């Protein structure tokens, strides 16, 4: 099992190095004026850092070899999440970003992890407010308005 993790981490590190090298052939630019290779370069650097951290953890032996991620997986919950995300995408233009996202967050916070309604409503409204402020106010981008006009 340990060999599998080592090979996987080496693969991701090699991929990150290859993307960084290819990105350097394009114009990276700066934070104020990013070029076409800016985002791929940063993503590759992040991938390389994370894969090296994982490789070091594997070599140190801090990862559990007998860990089985699928043992405690609820396939019903997984199916509900996938179905709700498909439904979210299908209804995004019809309901609009705010209402559609609010309904999705209510579902995920209440049904998937049964929190109290006060927490669910507060977290959903806070998340929508933060995303709306970031995209609409700060970045001046347009989000789908939907039938209700918001």
Other Cβ atoms within 10 Å of 91 Cβ, number? 16
Per-residue pLDDT at 69 = 61
**For the chain, domain boundaries:** 2-60, 75-138
Full pLDDT tens readout for the chain, 150 residues: 678 888 999 999 999 999 999 998 988 887 777 888 888 999 999 999 999 999 998 888 765 555 566 677 778 888 999 999 999 999 999 998 989 999 999 999 888 778 888 999 999 999 999 998 888 888 788 888 878 776
Per-residue pLDDT at 62 = 62
Task: Say whether 29 sits in a helix, a strand or coil.
Answer: strand
Residue 51's contacts (CB-CB under 8 Å, 6 or more residues apart) are 9, 12, 13, 16
């Amino acid at each position: 099992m340990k060999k599998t993790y080592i090979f996987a981490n080496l693969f991701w590190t090699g991929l990150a190095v290859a993307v960084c090298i290819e990105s350097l052939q394009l114009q990276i630019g700066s934070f104020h004026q990013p070029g076409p290779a800016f985002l791929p370069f940063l993503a590759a650097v992040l991938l390389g850092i994370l894969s090296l951290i994982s490789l070091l953890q594997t070599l140190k032996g801090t990862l559990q070899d007998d860990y089985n991620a699928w043992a405690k997986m609820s396939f019903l919950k997984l199916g509900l999440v996938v179905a709700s995300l498909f439904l979210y995408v299908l209804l995004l233009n019809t309901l609009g970003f705010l209402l559609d996202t609010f309904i999705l967050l209510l579902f995920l916070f209440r049904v998937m992890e049964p929190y109290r309604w006060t927490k669910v409503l507060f977290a959903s409204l806070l998340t929508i407010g933060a995303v709306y402020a970031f995209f609409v106010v700060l970045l001046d981008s347009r989000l789908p308005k939907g039938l209700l006009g918001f």
